[in-house]
Amino acid sequence: MPSQIFVEPAGEAWAVRGDLFDNLMIYPTGASAEQAARELAHRLADAGEPVVLEIKLRDGARAGRFLFPPRLDGDIAARGGPPPAARIATPPPISPRPSSAGAPP
């Protein structure tokens, strides 16, 4: 069963709550609360946890519901973290061109 994360009004502010954590996270705007909830959902999905994010409006109506499926390549934490960055080959230094100054026309 997927974990649940909710973004909902909390007085004049906005709260992010979920079933994986006990404390509310409070934000001054709905946009900042939604952004934080999406980032959290992405991190959990990257770790292999399916997540449903539900966003509510001030009147209690549902504004959106999003599913963040677990990563297909498995649990990143079990593999010791994210994959190493691709190695970028350093190009060889550019040798200066022979100068045409002083060469006969």
The string of pLDDT tens digits covering residues 43-89 is 999 999 999 999 999 999 999 999 999 986 654 545 555 554 444 45
φ/ψ (deg, to 5) at 30: -65, -35
Rounded Cα–Cα distance for residues 47 and 78 (Å)? 8
What does pTM read for this prediction? 0.67
**Distance of CA 36 to CAs 1, 2, 39, 70, 105, Å?**
22, 18, 5, 18, 68
Beta carbons within 10 angstroms of residue 55's beta carbon: 20
Q: Kindly calculate the radius of gyration of the chain based on its CA atoms and give it in whole angstroms.
A: 25
